[in-house]
Every structure is written in structure tokens, then in C-alpha cells.
Amino acid sequence: MPIDAVTQKVSDRYARAAASGEQMCCPTSYDMQQLKTFIPEEVLRVSYGCGTPAGLDTVRPGETVLDIGSGGGIDCFAAARLVGPTGRVIGIDMTDVMLDIARRNAPLVAANLGYLSSNVEFRKGLADAMPVEDGMIDLIISNCVINLAPDKRKVFGEMFRVAKPGGRFTISDIVSDQTVPQYLVHDAEKWGDCLSGALTLTEYMNGLTDAGFLGIHLVKFSPWRVIDGIHFFSVTLTGYKRPVLVASSLLQYATLRGPFSRVMDERGTTYQRGLPQPITAEGVWLLSTPALANHFLLTADPVRLDAADPRRQAVLPAQTPCTWQGHYALLAGPFLVAADDDQHVYRRGEPLEICSKTLAVLQTESYASHFAILNRAGQPVGGTAVECAPNGGCC
């Protein structure tokens, strides 16, 4: 299907939904009672999304925030409250009906928040050609929109262009556990349902990394639908644009604390738990970002962590039989590759079948935030317990 045709069909679909009040496709978790205190009902009725990127403690006072695919304006207005009257919010959308609703309600929201004037501006434009200046955005948000764009890599490139050095994104979207087949790709209705345009988690995260973002990691995960054996699920991801770094001749060291026994970061550097490794200024910055900081010890001199060191982390599986229940684990950053203490190697976004003991390990606090867990079993599984391999590997 031609790109222009996809774009027009998606725009028409959302325009019809706004006019009819149709409830669109995606799982959302807005706190409507709280939003009703300052956002008009007309906006709330046409709010479609698969997450709450403006409501996850990601927006800071005084910032400039960009919302890609702002629709009726719900996330822009949520961000407007959080940035305060000194901050600024820009919403981009391609659908005139949505833009009319958002613009009409912007003064009402400002009045409800006690602002002298609105701090929100809505612009007509496409996600892959944003009408926004280079390097001016502190935070990019988007809610179940990028999957609707035919060329996601252009969108990711545009995100990197408009972000300030040191800027970041928090975006919610629908991804899949395997490549969407052509019969769905060419189904016009399912584009509007957030299905046909879904990338795999691997493709989505690699596209963001290829655009230049680093430290990309999972904030929230929620299963959604299964169609013909393909699992579609919602993820909220955060990542960063490297700030301007001052060159330094001082050498620093990073020691992986765990719980992973080995990891590879997005720059291709591999770390073994407990072994110090020299790092550059860029490495110091990357390993200091929120999703990685707790995993590393950064020091001026090399520091080894032996098994008895309390700073070292490990989560071992229970030494009991396990069962296969249909679970698959998908590593969702901030590493390209990671290994646990039971010989499993996880590659970002790729489903790996896991047994009940490994599931228990990945559900612990140390691991849980890094994984999306799916169950591919079509019905309850009644398999018998099996013993782990003699060499200590799980199943």
C-alpha cells in the first residue's frame, strides 16, 4: 500500500472516530478522575493511546515538551500542567478535526490551571517531517502514534533532530513479538487499529538506537491482543540524546555489579560481572543514565568485585524441578545482549522460551524492569516437572 494512502486512511479513520465518539484500539491507563479536574470532556472523549507518557514522572517544570500525534490534546494538556506556566508544550498532528478540538480547548485548560495564557501550541504536520526547529526539545512524548507512521526510521531520525543535546524521550507504542505478515500490512482497517504498522520490539528499539539515542529501556509493559499467533503488546520506552561532553584525559573504570553475569551495551562494549574495565567520557555518561546506573560501579581506579562483596548482585534459580508453561522473555534494554547465572543469553527484543524457574528469577526486583514476559500457550499447560541439566544449566 503506498505511503500516502496509508497516511490518508489513518487520518480519515481518526477523524471519523472523533466525529462519532468511537472508542479506538489501544489499552490506556489514564487517571480520568484527575484529568477531568482541568481537561474538558470534549478532549477526554477523543483520547486514544496505549500508555501515559506524560504521567510517569517524566515531565519537569520549565521544560519544552513535544507530543508527536497529539490528537485532541490530552497528553499535551497533562504535560502543560506539569511543566508549569514557565514551560512550553508543542503538539503535532495531521488530522484537522483533532487539531480543531485541541486548539479550541487550549484556552479553557489554561484558565482551569490558573495560567494567564496557554502554554500549549498545536501545529499541523507529520511525524516523519516535524515542523519543529533543530535541537529545541527537552522531552519528546508520543502515545500509540509512531506505529501508524509508514516510515518509522524517518520518525526516529526526526526525534533525534529536534531533541536538545541531553534531551530524552518517553514514548508509548504497540509492538509485536514477530514480524507482521503482508496480509495484515495491507489491511487498511488494521492500520487504524495499531496492528498493521507494528514493528517487532527488536526493530523498534534498534531503530531508536540507529537514530542516535542511547540508554533505551523499558518503563512499562502491557499485553494487548493476539492475532493469528502474533502477540501485540504495549511498551513505554525512554531513551536519551547524548549531551555535549567535555573531553578528559582522566581514565575511569566501570565494574558490572549484576544481576546479569555479562552484558553488552548499545555501543558494543561487553562487561563481565565483577571485572573492572576502562571507559571513556561517553561511557561514563551512558552508564550513569537512570536505567544503567544501579548496575555499575564507576571508579577512578580499577575495582574488582568478588563473590563475597555486598556490592555484587546475583539471583540464582531455585534448585528444584521446573515446568514449561509457555512463557517467553524479551529483553527490553538497556543492553543489546545480557546473560544470567543459568546460561541463558538474552538478545534485545528477541523472544526466548523460559521455564518456571527462570520466570521466577526474571520476576525478581533486580530483573523485572528489563523484560517483557509473554505467554504463547493457547490454553493452560499441564506439563510434568523436569530436572535441570547436570551442568547446572536450566532445562
Mean pLDDT for 119-134 is 98
In DSSP notation, 50-101 reads: SS-TTSSS---TT-EEEEET-TTSHHHHHHHHHH-TT-EEEEEES-HHHHHH
Mean pLDDT for 144-158 is 93
The count of residues in the chain is 395
Which domains occur in the chain, in start order? 3-240 (3.40.50.150), 245-314 (3.40.5), 321-395 (3.40.5.100)
Give the residue, 243 or 393, on which the prediction is more confident: 243
Mean pLDDT for 127-135 is 97
pLDDT in tens, 215-274: 999 999 999 899 999 999 999 999 999 999 877 667 799 999 999 999 999 999 999 999
Half-sphere exposure of 372 (CA within 13 A, CB side): 33
CA dihedral defined by 245, 285, 332, 155, rounded to 10 degrees? -10
pLDDT in tens, 182-195: 888 877 666 556 67
Per-residue pLDDT for 206 more than 70? yes
What is the per-residue pLDDT for 1?
A: 47
Per-residue pLDDT for 371 more than 90? yes
Instruction: Evaluate the CA torsion angle 194, 197, 200, 202 in order and state its sign.
Output: negative
First-last CA distance in the chain: 45
- Looking at every residue in the chain, the average pLDDT score rounds to 89
